[in-house]
Structure 1
Amino acid sequence: MSNPPPGSIQGLIGDALRETGDLARKEIALFRTEMVSNVRTLFIGLAMMVAAAVFAVVSLLVLIGAFVKFVATLVHSDWLAALIVGGVLLLVAVILGVVGARAMSLSNLAPTRTSRQVRQDARALSERVSG
């Protein structure tokens, strides 16, 4: 079968179908790339939350040790050093927890670039069809 002449209805329909298929493949590839990136960000946030939990446990142990030393000595300053160390570790745990929770936000998983690109493509297609 011979190819339809350029500019014919059949040729235009064939071109439109080919371009639509190419566009769909590109949009799917963009979606996959964006979702892989978003899932990677989710796992990094999860790792930060685990790290925050480890720091929280360690800080609690140090704070408990400081309290025990404080009660045992009541006069010496060994407990003060332990309280400072425990307070710093607790601060690190809070910072990691906040950063990790932000990274795990569900809004970070939405494929925003893909949806914006699909809207632009749909607008361009509708203009091309109507124009």
Structure 2
Amino acid sequence: MSEARKTPHVTSTPEPGMRSENDTSVGGLLRQLTQEVPALITKELALAKAEVSESVRATKAGAASVATGGAVLLGGFIVLLMSAVYGLSKVMEPWLAALIVGGVVVVIGLIMVSAGKKKFEASSFKPERTIHSVNKDKEAVRGHTS
């Protein structure tokens, strides 16, 4: 008997229209990629939306707190400024005392406003985790296609 008759050749190629469990051909990988990419994009968009929503919520809460504290602070600050003007008016003319106190307060206010503007940079609204995750996904896809 010949060797060909003893061991029949069995192919593991699936029938057309049927997928094997471990389809690692280029077509199979592309088919798998086209099925998984929409789900991945959907998840990344959901993450970005949640991250931006979280940033906006934190910014709103911070702004409300700052506004309330600022209103109370303003009342106390006005009383302190009036007492400074009154104290200086005992040493110099009242109009000059008011001018000096007002000038100092304006300079301090300008410094505080410029420092506060830096805290509202656009980078604080950037979805860092989503960008990192998308970059990881991009590198993973590049790794599998190389």
TM bucket by the smaller chain?
A: 0.5 to 0.7
The 5-angstrom pairing of residues 74-93 of structure 1 reads: none
Number of aligned residue pairs: give it.
107
Q: Using the alignment, how far apart are the partners of 2:129 and 2:138 within structure 1?
A: 14
Question: Is residue 19 of structure 1 aligned with residue 36 of structure 2?
Answer: yes
- Length-normalised TM-score, structure 2: 0.57
Residues 19 and 122 from structure 1, CA distance in 2 versus in 1: closer, same or farther, beyond 3 angstroms?
same
Letter in 1 for 2:35: R
Q: Using the alignment, how far apart are the partners of 1:101 and 1:41 within structure 2?
A: 17
Deviations 1:41-82 (A, max 9, x none): 2112211331232023211343256458869xx8xxxxxxxx
Task: Provide the aligned C-alpha RMSD in A.
Answer: 3.2
Letter in 1 for 2:70: A
Task: Identify which of 60, 65, 69 aligns with 1:43.
Answer: 60
Q: Using the alignment, how far apart are the partners of 1:9 and 1:119 within structure 2?
A: 24
Deviations 1:21-57 (A, max 9, x none): 1111111111011001111121122113312320232
The runs of 5 or more residues in structure 2 that have no matched partner are: 1-15, 91-112
- Length-normalised TM-score, structure 1: 0.62
% identical aligned pairs: 25
Q: Using the alignment, how far apart are the partners of 2:49 and 2:37 within structure 1?
A: 18
Aligned to 1:77: none
Q: Using the alignment, how far apart are the partners of 1:3 and 1:54 within structure 2?
A: 71
